[in-house]
Each structure stands twice: as structure tokens, then as C-alpha cells.
Amino acid sequence: LGGPAKPYAGQTGFIKQLISRSQEIGEICYAFSPHAIDWQRQVVTGYTPGKKGWIKRSYPFPDVVYPRERSYSYSQLIMQIRKRFSALGVKFLNPVMVGKWNTYQILKNHPPLAGYLPDTKLLTGFDLIETMTKKYQAAYLKPVIGSKGQKIIRVSLNKPRPGYQYQYQTNKKSIRGTAENLSKLRRSLRGVMGKRAFLIQEPINLLTLNGHIADVRVIVQKNHTGRWLITGMGCRMGAKGSITSNISAGGQGYKLSTVLERHFPKKEQQAQIEQDIRFIALESAQVLEKSIGTAGEMGIDLGIDIHGKVWFIEANLRPARSLFRLIEEPDMRQQSIINPLLYSRYLAGFTGKEYDK
């Protein structure tokens, strides 16, 4: 993935911290690749950080695996490994994510959450773009499988002229254009869409801060008792002119309280919005888990519109923790690192005291 100094690329720092914290609470933790498993001898070639680089050792099969591969890169090899490990009693901290469309269907069929979901359809043809833009003036196209705001496209009516305007991000750069009709729009978007499956979704008039659109990232995790809890939350601001709020695309972070105080002066409304955020985050994690299988953590992305209504946007199983650094919440970040370790202990059948620090 990376060079000797960063063998796990952008995850190297997180993996180092994870292993360090595991040692503090008496757990054996190591990093390994899908190609480092000896099924015959039931050992894994694992790595731990040392003073002069990464130390290579052989380890017995783990009790619990914390998958860190990209949630949308479940190759045949990865799925085979999951199946073989599971047959041997090895637990996984997270299951395979089911994609945005299945996520939407699961939550839409749960009445307490249905009202928090934007109108969403599977993009079976470009005629749906015409239908949705006539109804909402604009629409978002999102890949069913994807992360970090990649390939998200905003399409709007090109008033007063006929046709459409479109915008999407590529390599942190905003691409804009116009198309006179659906046929030309299809040709214009062919390169970015490829043959991927897409959703089409109503636009949400999200809060902005200094002209940057904002959403809320909530990290929900299980602790040593196997109970869901909210580890932390904060607001993500998109780069200037961006149609998404993803930090990886050049965004920023702010504390939720800062954003709420700026837009909603009444304390009662601020409290209600935060209450809604907590309810949706915890409820969606529990509902999704019942359908996709036992899970230990999720990143729940929510939007707040200009009227203070909270909307469910997305859930993912490999949430980044960089937001906590941007909003200067080191305790939240540390707790988000130790919770998977404590939950792994629970999965493995061990019990012990709760670690708060």
C-alpha cells in the first residue's frame, strides 16, 4: 500500500495507535494482509511497529479480525477469507456493507426512521433525472458503492434556458457544465459514471458556514458490553464551491455546537436537533445491524437543513477519525480507537473492566 515508513498508506498512523493501545490493555494486536495467511498451519504473518520499523512475526489465528480494507473493495479473495475464518470461529468486528440502495431500503422500511430519509430511487434510466429535477429543481446522483464523496454529481435545471447544469468533483477539482437535453447530459456524464450503479436523490438545502455546505458525522461504536454508544460527532464543511462536505476532498471541521449556535439562536431548537441526531444515529446503526450482521462501529452521516430538520445521508463501516483532530477533540479520537479493542474483547468472550481513557 505504501513505502517502508507507511506500509499501510493513510491508515498507518491509525494502525500504530490501535496496536499501541491494545498493548496498554493487555491485548495482542497485529496488522496482516490477505496474502499473509497460512491456512494449513493456521498462522498469520503479522506486523507490529518497532523503534526501527515494522517487526515481522508469526501469530496464531486471531480471535477477532478488524477489517480495514475499503468497504467497497470486497474482492472474491476477501470474501473467501471471511468465509474460511468464520468457519473456524474467528469473529469479525464488522460485516460487509450492503451499499447505499440496500441501506436506504432497510431504513425506509423502519417507520421511526422513514421520515428522515430523502426521496431516493435507483437510477434505472436518465428519464428519472427529468422526473426528479422537475419535482425538486435539482437532484443528486450517487454511486451505490463508493465513499469519500467520489463520483457524486449534482444536476439541476438550466433555467431560464432549456436543459441541465451539472457539477461533480474529481481530484479535488470541481467540474461544471451544461447540457441541452438528456441525451447530451448522458454523454457528458459517461466518463464519470462509467458502468456503475447510481442512486438519484432529492437535494437537501443543507446548512452552510461561510459559504461552505455542512453535514454531521457521528461515530457510533460498541463498547466492552456490546452496547451501541455515540463516541463523538462533529460537522464537516465542504471545500469552497464543493457539492459535498468530505474532508478528504479539501473540507474542514467544526464543532456541532458552533454550527447550531450560528444558525439557530434558540437553545430549545439546538437541543432538539442534537436529540434528533443522536436518535437517528443510534437507531440506524441498530436497524442496519439486524439486516447486515453483527457490527462494531459505523460512521453515520446526517444533514441539517435550513429549517432544522435532520436527514439521514449515509452509513459506512470504516469511518475516518480525522474530523476529531480538526475540531480539537483528542479524547473523542482516543475513545474511538480503544472502543473497537474493547468490543473485540467482548466478541472473543472475555470480560473485564471498562477503560475510559
Q: How does pLDDT run across 283-306, given as a tens digit for each residue?
A: 999 999 999 999 999 999 999 999
CA 243 – CA 142 distance, rounded (Å) = 12
CA angle 325, 329, 333 (to 5 degrees): 70
pLDDT at 252: 80
pLDDT at 187: 95
pLDDT at 2: 47
Q: Which residues of the chain fall below pLDDT 70?
A: 1-5, 70-74, 147-149, 245-250, 351-357
User: What's the DSSP call for residue 222?
Assistant: E
Look at domain 100-116+205-347 and name its CATH class.
alpha beta
pLDDT at 154: 96
User: What's the DSSP call for residue 354?
Assistant: P
CA 185 – CA 154 distance, rounded (Å) = 12
Q: What is the 3-state secondary structure (H, E, C) of 66-81?
A: CCCCCCCCCCHHHHHH
All three cell numbers of 127, joined, read: 428519464
CA 88 – CA 179 distance, rounded (Å) = 55
Q: Which long-range contacts (CB under 8 A, 24 or more apart) does 165-169 make?
A: 167/243, 168/192, 168/243, 169/242, 169/243, 169/244, 169/249
**Does residue 207 sit in helix, strand or coil?**
coil
Residue boundaries of the structural domains of the chain: 9-65, 100-116+205-347, 120-201
